[in-house]
Chain A
Amino acid sequence: MSQTNKAFSDARPLDQEIAVSVRGVSKNYGSVVALKDMTLEFPRGQLTSLLGPSGCGKTTLLKIIAGLLKPDSGEIIVNGKPVVGPGPNRSFVFQDFALLPWANVMRNVAFGLELRGVAKSEREAKAAKYIKDVGLGGFEKAYPHELSGGMRQRVGLARALAVDSRVLLLDEPFSAVDEQTRRKFQEDLLALVANENKTFIFVTHSIEEAVYVSDQIAILLPRPSRVSEIIRPTSFRSKGVENIRRDPEYLDIVDEIWASLRSYVE
């Protein structure tokens, strides 16, 4: 715990505003301890990855932040207010896309706005913009079963963007797409973080992916579930997307993370 706090305070960006903070959150499923006294902060306008072995509570943490699950103890503060349930300041991108199979792309992307009571013409205009932004222009009338996995995930992303919430929660959003698409998505995500002033909380299994896209990486470890380390890449972020994967700091961080995680892979 003390080591956690030390790593945490070392990495803490002093001049940064905190958009989301997780304070002493615990969550048990029956006898399974999914999260134990977890404390973690997410700076505004940045992308933070949650990286860790399977079962260390990443999804649980994300759902608690989303307000979909109640923590057993502790609290989540988003923009200064404690979370009591789902709210318009956060939106979720699901690993399995969670699209309405009976609705076309337009309705799916506009669905978040529809649930918030936005008038049809207004929400469709907004949805149309985000459909174009994620590169699905022309597919407005298509149904999910007519789209590829990558395209479906774009629909899920556009839906989350369309409600224009300040915090985006992404649970392994790229795990169901092929490697090329995944790389393209990672580049798009970097552009998104740069252009939209939103806070991204991003769960991933891939060390390379985490290092590539993140401003801050939180390494979570299981049994008991805890934050073991927070890493903030400093130098390569500004060098342009083509050069990141060749940057010595990028390679060093990937190695370092692998070294600390390898003992948890049976």
Chain B
Amino acid sequence: MWIKGYKLPAMSSLLIWGLLWEIIGQLDLTFFVPPLSNVFATLFVIIGSPAFLNALWETAQAFLAGVFFSIVIGIPVGIFMGRSRLLDELLLPWVNIFVSAPLTALVPVLMVLFGFGMKSIIITTTLFGIWIIILNTRAGVRQINRSLVEMATSFGASPLDAFAKVYFWAALPEILGGVRIGVIRAVKGVIIGQLLISIVGFGALFELYASNFLMSHFWAVLIVLFALAFSISEFLGYLERKVSYYAASR
């Protein structure tokens, strides 16, 4: 952001919104918005508490497992779809449906199929993250320079070598973009899973604080969650920039 020729540091607009939040909170307009300073005070109190750490651990487990499956299933499926006309025709309609479907509506079905435990939560998280990873990987593979593929073939590359040494790397900029968005969606998925399936982790904290009108607590946990998602996304953005040197010249 620029003001009168001065470049403001990134996200300085957050300061303005934070200030506005504080003012509205101090005016005591609604219980829903406590002053931001109170929220941070609460944050520092609860952040070390066993209940919080336990929730963080439960959420992190489900989240990491879900992201793991989204990536290790999503990338190969995307690569295969990008390479094979037949697979692409078969799978693309489904991927397109799921990438935009209201997945929350599916959660009750998952509960019937997979029970009320960790398994369903992980599957929900995966379902939120995987589709965009597939789509981006597919797009990345489809734009691979034909002669790069022919080059690998002409030197006798095995399918596995072509996959691991050419297709994956050539599509990496798009893959990372897909993973970044997929991870953000997975955050949404894990919280929805924890709210709807079994009340554990951060989902349980949200449920507890919201039903007891502990708004400072509620916002504090939300801010922590936002900060975590933001750091992961920034880290993936950093990786994306690291491969951008060749993204333009493929």
Footprint of B on A, CB under 8 Å?
63, 66-68, 86-88, 90-92, 94-96, 98, 100-102, 111-112, 114-116, 143-145, 163
Contacts and interface: CB of A to CB of B under 8 A. Distances in A.
B100 interface: no
Given A86-B156, A102-B172, A116-B156, A96 B150 contact: no
18 contacts: A68-B153, A68-B154, A86-B153, A86-B154, A90-B154, A94-B147, A96-B147, A98-B147, A100-B148, A102-B169, A102-B172, A102-B246, A115-B152, A115-B156, A115-B165, A116-B155, A143-B245, A145-B248
A143 B248 CA distance: 13
Contacts of B234: none
A116 B155 CA distance: 7
B96 to A, nearest CB: 29
B120 to A, nearest CB: 39
B155 A163 contact: yes
B155 A112 contact: yes
Given A115-B165, A116-B155, 4 more contacts: A96-B145, A101-B246, A143-B245, A145-B245
Nearest to A95: B147
Contacts of B169: 100, 102
B170 to A, nearest CB: 8
Given A100-B169, A143-B245, A94 B152 contact: no
Contact of B246 (A63, A87, A98, A145): A145
B152 to A, nearest CB: 7
Nearest to B147: A98
Interface residues of B, number: 24
B250 interface: yes
B151 A144 contact: no
Contacts of A102: 169-170, 172, 243, 246
Interface in B150-193: 150-158, 161, 165-166, 169-170, 172
A185 to B, nearest CB: 19
A144 B158 CA distance: 24
Contacts of B212: none
Task: Please list the 4 inter-chain residue pairs (A to B) with the smallest Cβ-Cβ separation, ordered nearest first.
Answer: A101-B246, A98-B151, A98-B147, A112-B155
A115 B145 contact: no
A145 B249 contact: yes
A68 B156 contact: no
Contact of A68 (B150, B157, B158, B246): B150
A101 B155 contact: no
B203 to A, nearest CB: 40
Contacts of B170: 102
Given A86-B156, A91-B155, A98 B150 contact: yes
